[in-house]
Amino acid sequence: MRSLQILVVDDDDADALMISEALAEAETSATVERVTDGREALDYLRREGQYATASRPDLILLDLNMPRMDGRETLAAIKTDDQLKAIPVVILTTSGAAPDIVASYQQRANAYVTKPFGLDDFESTVRQIDRFYREVASLPGARH
C-alpha cells in the first residue's frame, strides 16, 4: 500500500492537528505538510523561497476560509497553472453553502467535503479521503 504526500492548506491550528493525527493513525501513514494560507500554498507548490526543496504533494486538502489568499483564489490559481493543475484538490471546509460547493466544482475541485463537527467524525472523514486516494484512485506521479 502506498503512502501519500499530502499538503494541508488550513489556517486553523486545531483542524490541522486533527487532520495530521487522523492521517498518522491510518494503515499507511501519510507524509503531511501544512501551510496556513493560499499564498504560502502557492510558494510551496511552486518551490519558491523557503520551500525551494519542497516535495510535490500527491493530494491537497484545502480550506476555503483563510486570511491573505483564501481557498477559492488558491484553487483557481492551482487549477489554471499547467504545472499544478493535475494535483487533486479536496476542499475540506466548514462551509456547506451551496454557492461555495458549486463554485469549487466550477473551479475544478476534485471533491468537496464539509468538515464534521465531532472529533471522531472529523477524523473518520479525513481517513476516508486518505483511503480513497491511497487505495482506489490512480494519481499522477504517485509513488507505488
- pLDDT, average across residues 63-90: 94
Per-residue pLDDT of 42-76, as tens digits, reads 999 999 999 999 999 999 999 999 888 999 999 99
- Identify the CATH number of the domain defined by range 5-135: 3.40.50.2300
Per-residue pLDDT of 8-45, as tens digits, reads 999 999 999 999 988 887 767 788 999 999 999 999 99
* DSSP per-residue string spanning the chain: ----EEEEE-S-HHHHHHHHHHHHTSSSPPEEEEESSHHHHHHHHTT-GGGTTPPPPSEEEE-S--SSS-HHHHHHHHHT-TTTTTS-EEEEES---HHHHHHHHHTT-SEEEEPPSSHHHHHHHHHHHHHIIIIIS--TT---
- What is the pLDDT at residue 144? 41
pLDDT: which is higher, 27 or 87: 87
- What is the pLDDT at residue 79? 97
* DSSP per-residue string spanning 81-102: -TTTTTS-EEEEES---HHHHH
pTM, to two decimals? 0.93
- What is the pLDDT at residue 104? 96
Candidates 62, 57, 63; CA nearest to 44 is 57
- What is the pLDDT at residue 16? 92
Q: Please check the confidence at residue 1 and state whether its pLDDT lies above 80.
A: no
**Domain spans of the chain?**
5-135
Confidence of residue 119 (pLDDT cuts 50, 70, 90): confident
Q: Please check the confidence at residue 118 and state whether its pLDDT lies above 90.
A: no
- What is the pLDDT at residue 2? 66
Percent of the chain with pLDDT over 70: 95
